[in-house]
Structure 1
């Protein structure tokens, strides 16, 4: 009963006709949009925070020199009117738009741009985007409108990196150069201002000082935080207290609403968009058992992705057989080619026997609720059952809060754990460099010198990204052979909204930038 309570509430909402009501006070103009999410906004300072909730703020409150705009797959000018690599390919020059202003009225100049990048790299917050900027050697500003980035080595993915939340520009008069800003004093130059934020909600209004590419179609956004409480999120949708439910409904909820004629009659619509979000099993290469290639191969031969997609995710994700997801340049199916698409018990058994393992192998799968989706714990229980049903493993699941989870990974305490990834920019570099470069996010002890020292630098220096396909394909094949991680699924983006809301299809795309300004309420 507990597992289906949120879905039942959604069905009740559809049958009730979803009368509009708001318990969130008077927020002004009626076309201000209320959205519920399960994520939390961890921080509001772009020098920290690498989570989806925080980047939701960064992408709408701050400007970057370039941005991922609706309908474009490559970064387009935003705070800059032009950016280009110079002949050397290690020098990148940007020229600002005229008359840029922060929400507090201060002028935005090249000094603020340099300050913002220098600040993020100096603070180097463990949870921040500083690793995205590691290719920067120095930044110079010959005048108030010009910024020149001097790179340590050619990095043709650099435009995508500075178009992400990691390239957010802050006011040098308001922000400290060496410490993080408190959330009650957020100053940006983006389309919206953050008026207030607490543990329950964030309130955004339109920034009248904004000068950029966005065309704003509403008077503001209110985000209500449900912190993994799908029942309350569904209840809010029922009451009409929220216009949109985003990043929080379970796969079962979405599946039931999608197939319900009552939903359409009640004015509720499920909007689906493409996504490059992925999830992997990560193997600790130093673990006494999981560090054995035969154990990892046996797991790869045993897991049934299609069962997970059908039973847990109800078709709201797709099986993933590569490091680089479908829709991104250089995607291949290396893991399918090597380990197949379904259980192969004899191959799994032989892999364990090659390691001298004749008894059931005891493994613990470590999970964390909410952070990588509301169904992660349920998914891991299903994976453990698949392993146990093979009679080759004795698997169990442990789920711990995210703070403790990250500390356990850093300490090398977990043999097998989950890692989800929402890309910063839609380039194969963002699915490889952060995972297999120096100081990578996996922290599982895997290092392949051919990848780190040859393939990644080579692909980074290639200006024609199509020419990187062969090298990225080779990288994926090497990772599939070494098996430090096992790709599980590629997500789809969903939002459930009342019919009075339009524009969602313009913001659910592989860039993963949720553009407040595209939403309109009628």
Structure 2
């Protein structure tokens, strides 16, 4: 899922009262001796355009979801080792028809919010219906838009009637978009402003902020929690740093116990070469990807131009020289570890070739060099992003076929301008909503897509995506996804560049690190515990 946080400064008056804070264990607001202190570069920011970033109906970004996952419950959840979702707030969930159009869940007995208020089927209906009704512009509405009606039966049964068959629906119910919230604290037609979250998840939370930005979140084990998760600690302190350098400094100074997403390539490489005493580096699989997007209505980046770019870009050089051990080349929107992956771009274009790119442009009658600007965000995907785009610029310009400049903008400006179509070409990252090929295709190719792209493929939207969702056995949809990937390689509305690896560094005595972040970059902080406690 990439996702979205608009960072505009003039919003202090919009926020609930907050406490000033900086970032050490000693000054933590009640963190205490036994709290495990986790550092992250994820950002939680409120703005005039988005004063409710931690409302499940509004927040749609990996960093925001990582907070929501600790605090709100969903009917289903991805199991510890991956695979199909299992019941969480529900005790059972199943499709009740052979077409995958009706999905029934029965709640666990005795389920309550953290304040002790009982949770009923009506609370679940209210929580999910408000996502649909609010329809936040940068929110997760697309995940739930296939719901036609929500029916309750008694206090404990919910039935979702879908407009079209969708075998991926259980995965979507496992995302924070379907988080269950108390109706008294979350308005039906608008987002809940400020940074407080109330739910029935494994933790309660207390945020500390400086102005419009959260700098620390204290997570305390929720004694009322009833679900499928085993919570192995009593308290976590999540410290939010502006960048990997600041997070690394805190680790060196001993003020945090663990560094999560996202360590810089330099940090990971340095620790691989020369491990630090008392600190263990763990490599984990990652499903995050990086790609170029194009405004396909802009004649400067017409289809032949995009194909020529795809022919020239050397992914191996970018992954190896810019990201080192933390990335590998990607030749499809669907990563190599996801069912249905095929190297469609390599199959079509082969090795980088200036001659083939020149022939593509010549046949289309396009005069060279083609001049355009590559835009990227300076403060959202890490410090290496600038190096990546300078490398792309060098590759394209060295061909003599392009005259490319690069321009970086802060995310607060970049994202709205990208969605408006101001950029001919731009760089983005994507963290999937769930580990399924649908989460790498529909958000880019379907109507109301994440990029607000003008690109349209009738075959993708009306035939292949609906067809892929009919298959309860996800491996049976592999051929359909192969066709979708081939369409992307031919039309190049987006150009995949690399697939990430992820690293976590933790101090000796912190256990459960290997389970604390999933392949989809979801924090699972309930897995952490101290062996020296």
Q: 2:251 aligns with which of 237, 244, 266?
A: 237
Query: Within 2, Cα distance between the matches of 1:329 and 1:183?
Result: 39
Residues 109-166 of structure 1, C-alpha deviations (whole Å, 9 max, x = no match): 1111000001111111112111100110010111100000011111110000011111
1:44 maps to 2:47: no
CA contact (8 A) 2:262 2:502 kept: no
Taking structure 1 as the reference length, what is the TM-score of the superposition? 0.92
Q: 1:33 aligns with which of 32, 36, 41?
A: 36
1:244-255 pair list within 5 angstroms: 244-255=258-269
Query: Within 2, Cα distance between the matches of 1:315 and 1:136?
Result: 42
Q: 1:83 aligns with which of 93, 97, 101?
A: 93
CA contact (8 A) 2:54 2:196 kept: no
Unpaired runs of at least 5, structure 1: 1-20
Query: Within 2, Cα distance between the matches of 1:89 and 1:281?
Result: 34
**In the alignment, what sits opposite 1:518?**
527
Residue 289 of structure 1 aligns to a residue whose secondary structure is helix
Query: Within 2, Cα distance between the matches of 1:370 and 1:501?
Result: 30
Q: 1:205 aligns with which of 215, 220, 226?
A: 220
Residue 324 of structure 1 aligns to a residue whose secondary structure is coil
**In the alignment, what sits opposite 2:110?**
99
Residues 430-489 of structure 1, C-alpha deviations (whole Å, 9 max, x = no match): 111111111111223110101101111111122222211111111111111111111101
CA contact (8 A) 2:62 2:521 kept: no
Q: Number of residue pairs matched? A: 496
Query: Within 2, Cα distance between the matches of 1:73 and 1:372?
Result: 27
CA contact (8 A) 2:39 2:239 kept: yes
**In the alignment, what sits opposite 2:21?**
none
Residue 324 of structure 2 aligns to a residue whose secondary structure is coil
Q: By how many angstroms is 1:366 displaced?
A: 0.5
Residue 313 of structure 1 aligns to a residue whose secondary structure is helix
**In the alignment, what sits opposite 2:75?**
65
Q: By how many angstroms is 1:387 displaced?
A: 1.0
Q: By how many angstroms is 1:403 displaced?
A: 2.0
**In the alignment, what sits opposite 1:427?**
436
Residues 502, 447 of structure 1: alpha-carbon distance in 2 compared, 3 angstrom cutoff: same
CA contact (8 A) 1:68 1:513 kept: no
**In the alignment, what sits opposite 2:239?**
224
Alignment RMSD? 1.5
Residues 245, 283 of structure 1: alpha-carbon distance in 2 compared, 3 angstrom cutoff: same
CA contact (8 A) 2:133 2:189 kept: yes
Query: Within 2, Cα distance between the matches of 1:26 and 1:188?
Result: 21
Q: By how many angstroms is 1:290 displaced?
A: 0.4
Residue 268 of structure 2 aligns to a residue whose secondary structure is helix
Residue 388 of structure 1 aligns to a residue whose secondary structure is helix
Query: Within 2, Cα distance between the matches of 1:479 and 1:194?
Result: 42
Query: Within 2, Cα distance between the matches of 1:275 and 1:185?
Result: 29
Q: By how many angstroms is 1:316 displaced?
A: 0.5
After TM superposition, the structure 1 stretch with the greater mean CA deviation from structure 2, 180-189 or 474-483, is 180-189
1:389 maps to 2:404: no
Residues 289-347 of structure 1, C-alpha deviations (whole Å, 9 max, x = no match): 102x221122111111111111110121111101211111100000011112x421111
CA contact (8 A) 1:280 1:485 kept: yes
Query: Within 2, Cα distance between the matches of 1:335 and 1:302?
Result: 12
**In the alignment, what sits opposite 1:173?**
184
Unpaired runs of at least 5, structure 2: 1-23, 46-52
Q: By how many angstroms is 1:28 displaced?
A: 4.7
Query: Within 2, Cα distance between the matches of 1:408 and 1:80?
Result: 41
1:404-423 pair list within 5 angstroms: 404-423=413-432
**In the alignment, what sits opposite 2:384?**
375
1:191-340 pair list within 5 angstroms: 191-198=202-209, 199=213, 200-228=215-243, 230-261=244-275, 263=276, 266-291=277-302, 293-340=303-350
CA contact (8 A) 2:105 2:157 kept: yes
Residues 158-202 of structure 1, C-alpha deviations (whole Å, 9 max, x = no match): 000011111110012222111211335421100001122323211
1:457 maps to 2:466: yes
Residues 283, 26 of structure 1: alpha-carbon distance in 2 compared, 3 angstrom cutoff: closer
Query: Within 2, Cα distance between the matches of 1:122 and 1:284?
Result: 29
Q: By how many angstroms is 1:513 displaced?
A: 2.4
Residue 314 of structure 1 aligns to a residue whose secondary structure is helix
Residue 136 of structure 2 aligns to a residue whose secondary structure is coil
CA contact (8 A) 2:319 2:329 kept: yes
Q: By how many angstroms is 1:25 displaced?
A: 3.6
CA contact (8 A) 1:493 1:508 kept: no
CA contact (8 A) 1:423 1:511 kept: yes
Q: By how many angstroms is 1:46 displaced?
A: 0.7
Residues 466, 403 of structure 1: alpha-carbon distance in 2 compared, 3 angstrom cutoff: same
**In the alignment, what sits opposite 1:109?**
120
Q: By how many angstroms is 1:30 displaced?
A: 2.5
- Structure 1: which 4+ aligned runs deviate by more than 6 Å? none
Query: Within 2, Cα distance between the matches of 1:319 and 1:313?
Result: 10
Taking structure 2 as the reference length, what is the TM-score of the superposition? 0.90
